[in-house]
Chain A
Amino acid sequence: MDSSNDEALDIIITNVVATFRTRCHLNLRTIALEGTNVIYKPEVGKVLMKLRKPKITASIWSSGKIICTGATSEDDAKLGARRLARVLQKLGFKVRFSAFKVVNVLAVCSMPFAIHLIDFTKNNRPIASYEPELHPAATYRIKHLKATIQVFSTGSITVTGPNVQNVATAVEQVYPLLFEVQKPLKKKEKS
């Protein structure tokens, strides 16, 4: 996958956010009182339900819109969403599972070298921006992939995008740029 490297880079997906609709009005109070692992927030108007397997937190609105976060893969997200819909079905609502869409995927990846952020920003203006007063990472946005990459000086990067494929492509795209501005490693005896 990575062109100029012997080892493969591990892209670890840490979070997948997905939404779906139940096409029916949900009574939040019923869900709050009859479900386990729920937090009811009447001021905001939503219920948070946490599933154990897969580990997912869902925000449920009374309109029937549900957002699932915390999954580690797209399939997991779908499974969790379906489980959740099943729970709601059992509680007595006429749930229909529709409009499932993965909205955001967050992945982390670690480069085996350190990165010189200022040079990186200089080479890639205006796509990259670095503001040390605000955030220790440089932000690199790829418009056509709709992906955002945050590059830290230690070599680890976090990538967010609309789906896993985009995230992988984004990492591939940015790798050569990072390779250019890598900091040559000097092994030190004392850590």
Chain B
Amino acid sequence: MSSRVCRTCGGSDIDVDQARGSAVCTSCGSVLEDNIIVSEVQFVEGSGGVSSAVGQFVSADGPVKAPLLGSGFHTSVGKESRAQTLQGGKRQIQQLGSQLQLNQHCLDTAFNFFKMVVSKHLTRGRKTEHVIAACLYLVCRTEGTPHMLLDLSDLLQVNVYILGKTFLLLARELCINAPAIDPCLYIPRFAHMLEFGVKTHEVSMTALRLVQRMKRDWMHTGRRPSGLCGAALLVAARMHKFRRTVKDVISVVKVCQTTLRKRLTEFEDTPTSQLTIDEFMKVDLEQECDPPSFIAAQHKAKMQQLEQELARKLDDVEGEISCYKDEIETELEKSRPKLRGIYAAYAKEIDPEEAEVLSSTSDPEEQEVEDDELQAATQHLTQDFLCQVIQEEEGRGKKTDDNEVEAGPDMEGAGSQRQAAPLAAILGKLPSAASLGLQQTLDESETGEKPDDEQSEGGELDLDGIDDQEIDKYILNEKEVQVKTELWMKQNADYLKEQKEKEERIKKEKEQGTYKEKPKKSKKKKEQIQASTAGEAIERMLEKKKISSKINYDVLRDLNRGGTGSGGGSSPSRASSDPPNTNTTARKRLNRRRRKKANDTNRDLAANASIMGKRVRLLISSTSKRKKTAVQGGCWTLLTMPATPALSIMSSSLSSVLLSATVTSESSFMPTTEPARLISLSSLEVSFLDMLPPPPAHHSVEEDAGNHRLIKHPEQFAADVERPQSPKEVQPALCLFRTGGWCVLTSAVYYPATARGICMIAQPPPQLPLAELVAVLVWTSQTQ
């Protein structure tokens, strides 16, 4: 109780009596509070003398069951769905958890995780099953129970990795640090499953020691703990003289044979394996091993090194061999016969000429000059040769031959020398070309980005560095294309058939007119319900959505079918509103607009006849913003609804009402209204009118103010349907506005959530000369 100060005397000593529910100041005796709300448990005596506590049990799942008073319709719908999700989740958790033999505390924790997940919207796009399994596994990890993810996946028949993915994501999002799995956790469980009988405990102990040893030997990082456990248990069983085969262990531990064998071999490689059983139980080696995969990698590295060395040695050997080769070749060349005697002389003679030729031919570009000089040289030589031949005609037959022979190799030698020069030049060119090429690529890389930037925007393809010939290799020529086409057609005959059939089907449907395009991703567009009557509209809306179980749909439907009860129910409420309305001033009258022209007005109007009677309707203009156009003194808030079906009469009555009101001085008529545009009032509007909310005062009087549920009483129903979230918001608005020469009668009826399909809102005009309104109405009455 708040210690307050007494108002009269200022004393702070206040006595609060729970029994009487009063707070009294002890100094002056003034009563500060009366009828305090007490929060004590009260008991009531039931039949048979049984006393029971007064009160209700509220579910811990949230304030779902209790109907909410005073909050919006939307939120209550939302909470329902959330509550359903949570309920469903809880059920599934209980189910799965009991299969795993988890205790209630774990299940509660799992449910809390699930609630967190739902509130963070992480269930979107994931199967609830997966999410729940992940929550349960999270609990298992935090509590340290010996449950594996594999168990969960077994139960659900889901891939382990999918569950694992979900689990990791949840753990990350919820910032829950699950401690790492210790293989020691699983040992007792597996040992139990292997049925060691009395000795289970001992075997488990031994296996535990083994696992710890394995851990220190780095066998457990990066491995499934179950594999290690399996190996340890197998060894422990054998140590205690139990005959458990590899198969038994595998079926319990859920790894495959190869894995188990590998673990055993790895363990074998550790120094611990060399100990005897007794030694192992007593002694613990201090030395630690490297992890087996690390060892394997090192082994690989070693092998690679060896290979490299070998290769190097081979290279060396080869190098030596090639050295020898070269030497041999040079020797061979040296041993070839050389030109002697006259030939040498000739060689010398030719030398200066050749030198000239050579020097002239050093320029590779002057190939033509070279040729000429070559010819000149040859002529010269031959002339010399011939001279010599002539000179030595008599006795030197040999020499001519020799000369010829000599000239030949000389020529060749000259030629080869000449060729060598251009070759050298060419070779000389190559490295420079290469350097040029490099430069090109360098430039490319430097400026590559800039032109690419420009080009990427333009989309042009930068062809630097792309060899077209190479690219051409990627494209088949025609013959190959034909062959490939045949092959492909044969291979994919089935697929092509399917495609053809599909096309034919679509064609047929198109002809028939029943072709429906496959909705690729149909965006949910709320279709506006088009109906000619209110009843139809309501029915269509109902078909579309079953909004809430609390609406009495029958009453909703009956509303328009001459439901006198509903009409009667609403009528007295309406009647009361009428007198106050008549006194209000400056209310604009707005007319309605419909989408469709009314076709069957008669029926409904007749139905409404009884409802309408001679009731006076009030049409209120909606917001204050658009108010107060030149309507002054207009008390023409009442509109008599006609009982007869003819719209013209209705409109005429409207017009009469209008005319009866005081109108502003303006009397310009609307010149250009076209008939097609003017939509006549119909029964829809009539019934809308029916549903119009009376002025706010009306609702505050009613007790269902604040209750949006359609409790199954027509009057309340009617009140609720009309009623928006707060009475002041919804106002029907009939407004008349002009759009480019047309005078359109529009109606704006904003409906609350229940009757969504029927709502439409129109923009009221900024300035509405009343005279125009009058004119239009007069016109309509005349035309209709």
Contact = CB atoms under 8 A, between A and B. Distances in A.
B28 to A, nearest CB: 63
A75 B442 CA distance: 13
A100 B289 contact: no
A96 interface: yes
A62 interface: no
B195 interface: no
B554 to A, nearest CB: 52
A130 B171 CA distance: 11
B471 A97 contact: no
Contacts of A97: 455-456, 459-462
Nearest to B220: A132
B180 interface: yes
Contacts of B445: 75
Contacts of A36: 473-476
B164 A34 contact: no
A127 to B, nearest CB: 9
Most chain A Cβ neighbours within 10 Å, of B302, B461, B468: B461
A175 B293 CA distance: 21
Interface string A24-45: 0000000011111100101100
B262 to A, nearest CB: 13
B223 interface: yes
B470 interface: yes
Contact of B475 (A87, A131, A137, A156): A87
Contacts of B223: 132, 136
Interface string B165-178: 00110011001010
Contacts of B57: none
A180 to B, nearest CB: 16
Most chain B Cβ neighbours within 10 Å, of A85, A132, A134: A132
B349 interface: no
Given A53-B470, A99-B456, A152-B222, A126 B177 contact: yes
A144 interface: no
B475 A34 contact: yes
Interface in B454-500: 455-463, 465-466, 468, 470-476, 481, 484-485, 488, 492, 495
Contacts of A137: 222
Given A96-B460, A191-B299, A131 B471 contact: no
Interface in A39-61: 40, 42-43, 51, 53
Contacts, number: 146
Nearest to A81: B461
A87 B518 CA distance: 35
A118 B222 CA distance: 9
Contacts of A83: 466, 470-471
A183 B294 CA distance: 11
Contact of B289 (A75, A129, A136, A186): A186
A174 B288 CA distance: 26
B603 interface: no
Contact of B221 (A78, A95, A116): A116
Contacts of A14: none
Contacts of A85: 461
Given A136-B222, A188-B290, A130 B481 contact: no
Contact of A153 (B149, B167, B293, B485): B293
Nearest to B486: A33
A153 to B, nearest CB: 4
A186 to B, nearest CB: 6
B297 A96 contact: no
Contacts of B226: 133
B471 A90 contact: yes
A154 B298 CA distance: 10
Contacts of B294: 114, 153-155
A35 B461 contact: no
B225 interface: yes
A35 B172 contact: no
Interface string A128-147: 01111110110000000000
B456 A87 contact: no
A117 interface: yes
B224 interface: yes
B180 A133 contact: no
Contacts of B457: 98
Contacts of A42: 492, 495
Contacts of B481: 33-34
B161 interface: yes
B461 A96 contact: yes
Interface string A75-94: 10011001101110111000
A153 B291 contact: yes
Given A83-B466, A153-B221, A33 B474 contact: no
Contacts of B761: none
Contacts of A126: 171-172, 175, 177
Contacts of A136: 222-223
B600 interface: no
A153 B222 contact: yes
A35 B471 contact: no
Nearest to B171: A129
24 contacts: A36-B476, A51-B474, A82-B461, A82-B466, A86-B466, A87-B474, A90-B472, A99-B456, A118-B180, A122-B180, A126-B172, A129-B172, A131-B167, A132-B180, A132-B222, A133-B225, A137-B222, A152-B222, A153-B291, A154-B297, A183-B291, A186-B289, A188-B290, A191-B299
Q: Which 10 residue pairs spanning A and B have beta carbons closest together?
A: A96-B459, A136-B222, A153-B221, A134-B164, A98-B459, A153-B222, A97-B461, A154-B294, A125-B177, A191-B299
